Structure 1
Amino acid sequence: MAVVTNLDTKRRKSGDDPLDALAALVADELKAVNDVIISRMHSPVELIPQLAGYIVAGGGKRLRPILTLAAAQLCGYKGDRQKPLAACVEFIHTATLLHDDVVDESDLRRGRASANAVFGNKASVLVGDFLFARAFQVMVEDGSLDVLRILSNASAVISEGEVLQLTTTNDTETSEEAYLEVIRAKTAELFAAACRIGAVVAERPHAEEEALRAYGLNLGIAFQLVDDVLDYSAVQARLGKTIGDDFREGKITLPVVLAFRRGDEEERTFWRRTMEEMDQQEGDLERAIEIMNRHNALRDSVERARHYGAVARDSLGLFASSPVKRALLDVIDFVVNRDF
């Protein structure tokens, strides 16, 4: 099967993970966040903590709450408000994962059975709703209207992004602009909010709040762009899912948009058959990857991610040099240069 080649990036040594380095800088606070997550998942309805705990325990590296903690540290904040708010960010993210897997009819989440595959669609949707409600309880307890405005707006935008993605699924005429609108809403908005509230709790000037918002937004766009490339190039053990899930679901991501735009009529007929009509046959995924590579669709999607990574890097320019700033900059490289 064809894969994207290494794009002149330096291989990191085993264990040399910028996200781990950033997490280490906020390790004590992250432990407190995990404690909040566990305590606030409690419910007398037994299925709720059981299902919520299943997906939270199987989660990734807590990137979004780590960004909240790191942003607050970057702004010199010495209080504790960032801890429950970081947990709030994780609840919002987890709720969207539960809903996503139901909508996408996914059976796997990071290499193991998805919550909906184990507990059923109805339970997954309802527990996702519970986590959204918990997140809003935490926001209200914080007492800041600014925090409530930022995170509630992010929740609404994420939902809009999910609905917008439904309108682009199976539509090979989707433009790059429409695709970017989806990932800005669906993925990048929560990154932006997670970073922005770090400045809000620290009561920093508006310029710093906007700088962190821009950092998170552009990091989130880069993250999703690379994620969409990896769906056509990485192994299941690394991704936690089988290759070509987006293809099989008819999701129109940037590699498809570019390959369709650059292809000849025979290739466009292939995309219409496989992505619009969902008439997929054995070998179609391999052909899709071959067409993408022929037209540099995967490589150029990564280049788009590098552009947004550069914008994220520039956004931190007004902050003084510090270990946490250097770690936040390194995370950009980690996101963009994930192995292909």
Structure 2
Amino acid sequence: MPRGEDPVEYYIGALRDKTGALIATSARYGAMFGGCDDATIALLQEYGELLGVAFQLADDLLDIDSQPGLSGKTPGTDLREGVDTLPILLLRRDPRPEDARLLQLLDGDLSRDEDGVAEALELVRAHPAMEEARVYTRRVAANAQEQLAPLGEAPVARALRHLAASVVDRVV
């Protein structure tokens, strides 16, 4: 990460370059091959990028907040791998005195420490950064939906708005 850059903004930029770019490209080509004009192609590309970011942020929340067997995910995978996702970056940005134990766990090696992962998950789930991350994720999805305003209430626009909402509704 470049020196002086906000870790949260850097992370969001990385998501735009990763999942955002993948979904944006899909949306762009779908619009192009569907015969859309240039303005609609650009609009759907931006929608796709925001949808990809919202999807990844929701997936990060699922990694913390999911229950084994219900989501198909093993909770804490990112913690085990030492990956700081949005909730962790938010809590690191403004740590409270009572976060000392959680930060100690996060700064340690959780790759083979199931008790540490369980404790860290419990602490992160209860931390205000989780709600802040949920709000942020909802805002990204709402921005994706707003990109579709020029399309009006056409059935495809309604379906794409629903898609953006369903990406985050699974976790927030």
Question: How far, CA to CA, are the matches of 2:13 and 2:75 in structure 1?
Answer: 24
Q: Match of 1:312?
A: 144
**From 2, 12, 16, the counterpart of 1:184:** 16
Q: Match of 2:70?
A: 238
Cα pair distance change 1:264/1:255, threshold 3 Å: same
Count of paired positions: 169
* Structure 2: runs of 5 or more not aligned: none
**From 27, 52, 55, the counterpart of 1:223:** 55
Q: Match of 1:201?
A: 33
Shift of 1:199: 1.9
TM-score when normalising by structure 1: 0.45
Cα pair distance change 1:288/1:304, threshold 3 Å: same
**From 279, 299, 309, the counterpart of 2:131:** 299
Letter in 1 for 2:53: I
Q: Does 1:248 align with 2:71?
A: no
Q: Does 1:289 align with 2:99?
A: no
Give deviations 1:219-258, integer Å, cap 9, x for gaps. 1111111110111111232332211111111111011111
State percent identity of aligned pairs: 33
Question: How far, CA to CA, are the matches of 1:311 and 1:265 in structure 2?
Answer: 34
Question: How far, CA to CA, are the matches of 1:188 and 1:327 in structure 2?
Answer: 19
Q: Match of 1:130?
A: none
Give deviations 1:133-185, integer Å, cap 9, x for gaps. xxxxxxxxxxxxxxxxxxxxxxxxxxxxxxxxxx7xxxxx9710121122111
Segment drifting more, 241-250 vs 196-205: 196-205
Q: Does 1:333 align with 2:165?
A: yes
Give the 5 Å matches for 1:12-161. none
RMSD of Structure 2 on Structure 1 (CA): 2.6
Does the aligned pair in 1 maintain the 2:102–2:123 contact within 8 Å?
Answer: no
Shift of 1:268: 4.9
Structure with greater Cα Rg: 1
Q: Does 1:278 align with 2:109?
A: yes
Does the aligned pair in 1 maintain the 2:27–2:48 contact within 8 Å?
Answer: yes
* Structure 1: runs of 5 or more not aligned: 1-166, 168-172
Cα pair distance change 1:179/1:269, threshold 3 Å: farther
Shift of 1:317: 1.1
Does the aligned pair in 1 maintain the 2:23–2:51 contact within 8 Å?
Answer: yes
Segment drifting more, 245-254 vs 273-282: 273-282
Q: Match of 1:144?
A: none
Letter in 2 for 1:332: A
Secondary structure of the structure 1 residue equivalent to 2:69: helix
Q: Does 1:264 align with 2:93?
A: no
Give deviations 1:245-286, integer Å, cap 9, x for gaps. 111111110111112223235735643x44444156453223
Letter in 2 for 1:199: A
TM-score when normalising by structure 2: 0.84
Question: How far, CA to CA, are the matches of 1:187 and 1:339 in structure 2?
Answer: 18
Does the aligned pair in 1 maintain the 2:63–2:77 contact within 8 Å?
Answer: yes
Question: How far, CA to CA, are the matches of 1:286 and 1:263 in structure 2?
Answer: 20
Cα pair distance change 1:247/1:238, threshold 3 Å: same
